[in-house]
Chain A
Amino acid sequence: MDVILSGLGQGFAVALQPFNLFLVLAGCFLGTLIGALPGIGPINGVAILLPIAYSLGFPPESALILLAGIYYGAEYGGRISSILLNVPGDAGAVMTTLDGSPMAKRGEAGRALSLSGVASFVGGSISIILMTLFAPMLAAFAVKFSPADYVALMVFAFLSLAALVGKSAVKTLLAAVIGLMIASIGVDANTGVMRFTLGSPDLMAGIDFLVIVIGLFGMAELLHLVESYARGTLKTLPVDKTFVSWADLFAVKWVMLRSSLLGFIVGVLPGTGASVASAVSYGTEKRLAGESGKSFGTGDIRGLAAPESANNASAGGAMVPMLTLGIPGSGTTAILLGALLLFNITPGPLLFEQKPEIAWGLIASMYIGNIALLIINLPLVGLFARLLTIPQQYLTPLITVLAFIGVYSVVGNPFDLYMVIGLGVLGWILRKLEFSLAPVILGVVLGNLFEDNLRRALSMSGGDWSILFQSVNSWALYGLAFAVVALPLVMRYFKRKRQASAV
């Protein structure tokens, strides 16, 4: 407990510096805006703004505070367009449209926005508190991990990714392996041997992380916007004067609590972020509601509170493995992890000891940001509602301009501009074929860590592969991996059996 309190003290000392405080607020504001704009979600927003934040020369903790603010701010903002436009602002807000939009249509837009704002706040707060309690514990535990344990952890991470993310497990796995293959391009750090550089000096240092992120998330998103453009003009419903009542909040208090816990846990699992969290919690609440759950989907406040608490809670949850193990809990935290690597900081169990200003500074900034977001999102919601109608024809070129400035100002190599476009087309095709892109970026970020630990483990054992299965930790992780893969299959089996007997 002492560690936590002194850590928090240190963190607030960082987060309350005027410059960092400004960045928290700027991040939260930008995040809400990015989340609210249909189409651009947290992952695209962070991807597009990462190189600019990097080239401004901020200290690493400040850059991370800003980018994280955009991340959890966007989880708040996504609900605005879900409710007012019936178009999810980002993938995590898909479930919010189900009950949020019917409420707005019957003239309760204000009530829906304020209720979901409070639900977001509850989800965010609970997950930050859980993060404060568990992250240092997990870090203290993970310090003892051997390279073989890390290999087991990676296997767990990639298998749970395959099992839980995307429509097809094989496609998700292939996407992750493509990411790992991209990471293997360049000079091998251990031996100095060139790998897959095709003799080109542009590829010797590997493909720059920023280029991959901007290409796959900025440019691919842009092409997606251009493709879906023809849908005509969207019409926003007005924000009316209705507001959430205490009775409403009292009615959903357990829903918010359960969904926050669930969202946090889903967030901690590697690779699964807001979209899985909100879908799981919505389904769970609907089932728990029993007979009265029939009103879900027609503007039930429980169906609005559940996904909003969960997707905000998942953002905090996803930070836990990123900071303590160096394994991102979601696609967006994979980009944050990559951002730290750009600053030559390797997150992992030692981060809390060696760079407390980063780990604790980030956590403290999230306390501040979450309160700021509640304030931004209750009275100022009308402002964001007006910004929703920025025409796509202006938004799309602006994304390109930001992306090009970012890539050029960091890398300064015109070759990379073409690379970004090429990766954008690849990312767009992958999306059309129902691949998810987050696993690719997880693969890119984790490639070196995975390979290094495997090589280190085997050099410790002199080439004996059985070292991978010798410690209790690794067995526990393989067990978890097996459970994550097997559980959905078992559940599907029982569901089918029950349906068969019901007929």
Chain B
Amino acid sequence: MADRIFAAITLLVVMAYGWAAFMLIKAPFQYDPLGPESWPRILSVVAGLCCLWIIFKPTVHEFDITKNSLVRIALMVGLLIGYAYLFEHMGFIIATALYCGASVKLLGGNVKQAVIFGVVTSVIGYLVSAKLLELNVPAGVFKNLI
């Protein structure tokens, strides 16, 4: 069932891709026998056939995951999205400290470990990447301090 659902969703995406390739993409003028639309057309047909094959002959029937793991994954994805948001808006140090602390807590560490790891990683990470390696990392709210 898991395979069939995935293949069906992929088939829908492939059909949208194929629809665009067959109906929308067109070069205003071209000299070559194959235009920008030909290659995507071939791909959409091959991908569509593969999806149909999987729908008819699936190999994975159960999406094998425990409820606990699923909750943990969902929480981790939530943390990642939060990290991405804070990374942009509050800068590397605060975002990293919060994210690292929260992940350690999520993965079974205690509060003390979480706080120490979060602070150490964010500060050292910022100094190494922004100062030592001169990478482009957002300074955020500490822009004027460091």
Enumerate chain A interface residues (CB-CB to B < 8 A).
52, 55-56, 167-168, 170-171, 173-174, 177-178, 180-181, 184, 188, 190-191, 193, 195-196, 219, 222-223, 226-230, 391-394, 396-398, 400-401, 404-405, 408-409, 412, 414, 417-418, 421, 424-425, 428-429, 432-434, 451, 454-455, 458-459, 462-463
Contacts and interface: CB of A to CB of B under 8 A. Distances in A.
Contact of B136 (A174, A230, A394, A408): A408
A412 B66 CA distance: 37
Contacts of B2: 432-433
14 contacts: A55-B136, A177-B46, A178-B47, A193-B35, A195-B20, A195-B40, A226-B72, A227-B69, A227-B73, A418-B81, A424-B80, A432-B65, A454-B39, A463-B33
A391 B47 CA distance: 41
B84 A404 contact: yes
B47 A433 contact: no
A409 B54 contact: no
A409 B132 CA distance: 14
A409 B51 contact: no
A396 B72 CA distance: 13
Contacts of A196: 17, 20, 40
A398 B137 CA distance: 16
B25 A414 contact: no
B33 A459 contact: yes
Contacts of B32: 190, 455, 458-459
Nearest to B68: A230
A391 to B, nearest CB: 8
Nearest to A462: B33
Interface string B98-121: 011001100111000100010001
Interface residues of B, number: 67
Interface string B52-65: 01100101100111
Nearest to A393: B107
A51 B17 CA distance: 30
B51 A174 contact: yes
Contact of B30 (A191, A227, A394, A451): A191
A405 B36 contact: no
B35 A191 contact: yes
Contact of B104 (A173, A230, A397): A397
A429 B68 CA distance: 17
A279 to B, nearest CB: 19
Nearest to A425: B77
B135 interface: yes
Contacts of B131: none
Contacts, number: 170
A193 B26 contact: yes
Contacts of B141: none
B84 A417 contact: yes
B96 A401 contact: yes
Name the 3 nearest CB pairs between A and B, nearest first.
Answer: A463-B33, A393-B107, A174-B50
A131 B17 CA distance: 41
Given A177-B47, A191-B27, A458-B32, 9 more contacts: A55-B136, A174-B54, A177-B43, A230-B66, A409-B136, A418-B81, A432-B65, A433-B6, A455-B34
B103 A409 contact: no
B76 to A, nearest CB: 5
Contacts of B88: 414, 417
Contact of A433 (B27, B53, B60): B60
Given A408-B137, A458-B32, A458-B33, A401 B73 contact: no
Nearest to B72: A226
A193 B37 CA distance: 9
Contacts of A396: 103, 107
A181 B83 contact: no
A397 B81 contact: no
Contacts of B50: 170-171, 173-174, 177
Contact of B40 (A181, A222, A409, A417): A181
Contacts of A188: 27, 36
B53 A170 contact: yes
A232 to B, nearest CB: 10
B23 interface: no
A404 to B, nearest CB: 6
A412 B36 contact: no
Nearest to A414: B88
A196 to B, nearest CB: 6
Nearest to B128: A405
Contacts of A190: 32, 36
B47 A181 contact: yes
Most buried by A among B20, B25, B57, B137: B25
B129 A393 contact: no
Contacts of A174: 10, 47, 50-51, 54
A421 B77 CA distance: 7
B39 A56 contact: no
A171 B54 contact: yes
Contact of B72 (A229, A417, A421, A454): A229
Nearest to A173: B50
A455 B30 CA distance: 12
Contacts of B36: 188, 190-191, 193, 195
